[in-house]
Amino acid sequence: MKEKELNRLIHVSQLYYEENKTQSEIANDLEISRPAVSYLLNKARKAGIVKIDVLSYHRTIRGIRHELCHHFNLKSCRVVTLPDDLYKIGADVLMDFLPKTKILGVGWGYNTDKVIDSLPQQNDEGINGGIICPLIGATTASQRGYNPDDLVKKLSQKTGYTGEFLNCPAIPTTAEEQARVMASDDFKRIEDYWKKTTTALITLGSYPSVPDHGSAQRFGRKLVEEKAVGCLLSYFFNPQGELIHGEDDYAIQIPLNLLARVRDVIGFVPQEANVDSVISGLKSGYFKHLVITETLASEVIKQMDESKSV
């Protein structure tokens, strides 16, 4: 095929499939007949310039949502086609829950911070105020988003909810330090809120993690030996979604038995997450709702299907 003819087929195809022009409009633009446009489009398909892919149900957004909800017993799943929309959709999902939430628990991390940044500022007549509390203490690392008290403050300013603060480190170094924190009035107050939390926003993390969460001090080599891949609120899980216990783990975070009682736990999956960590986090069973990119969701489903056939 000559270059001039190839360029003509490409041009007609772009007008029809990318610019959504009708065949009549293309005919008028190019000063040819409508049947001639139809002929050129058919020729472009036969030449492989245009490839039409009719998606099976499980590859559609609706099908992907259904598969993830079915696999992991989720109540809902938002599959985001454009990665640039991920934080906004995460914020939209959180906004959907806020009007019916009296106590909201907030996790930590850069991505949780970005979701909060994407929330619209509410006016005085916005959301009916409830309470926001952190689900974990703060790290000593300077990375953005790893002081949940700061996230609570920012979120309370945006929503009108009352912020309650934990005021403690996430990773005490000794059992004695952990005991002092747990005996404090701040901890006891937050612990009472944990028992009543109805909605939580948590990012699905991975291992190795940044910051490190004091993993060597808390777990020794257990995370490596037991093949840790998933992480949420500084709890670590193996590929089957089973919790890995550390002998010197004195972390300050919501107990998993209380997290399991939270009615709506929203799991936010970062675009850069790896498939193994996502599957591990979902297998843990704590998440009820999910926000994830289409690309990553498809990879999760593919890996789950492949594991079934082995």
Closest listed residue to residue 308, CA positions, set 67, 30, 7: 67
Distance CA 156, CA 169 (A): 21
Question: How many residues would you count in the chain?
Answer: 310
Q: Which residues contact 31 (CB under 8 A, 6 or more apart)?
A: none
The model's pTM is 0.81
Q: What are phi and psi of 309, to 5 degrees?
A: -80, -10
Q: Beta 205-206 vs 199-203: how paired, if at all?
A: unpaired
Pick out the chain residues at pLDDT < 70.
Answer: 52-59, 124-128, 309-310
Question: Tokens representing 126?
Answer: 């916005």
Distance CA 96, CA 38 (A): 46
Neighbours of 298 (CB within 10 A): 17
Closest listed residue to residue 263, CA positions, set 287, 243, 242: 287
Task: Show me where the domains of the chain are located.
Answer: 3-46, 57-309
Q: Which residues contact 38 (CB under 8 A, 6 or more apart)?
A: 23
Question: Tokens representing 95?
Answer: 């906004």
Class of the domain covering 57-309: alpha beta
Going by the DSSP 8-state scheme, the letter that residue 284 receives in this structure is T
What residues does 136 pair with on adjacent strands? 253
73-128: pLDDT as tens digits: 999 999 999 999 999 999 999 999 999 999 999 999 999 999 999 999 877 555 56
What's the confidence (pLDDT) of residue 195?
Answer: 97
What's the confidence (pLDDT) of residue 309?
Answer: 62
Asked, colleague to colleague, whether 3-46 and 57-309 share their fold, the answer is: no
Fold adopted by 3-46: Arc Repressor Mutant, subunit A (1.10.10)
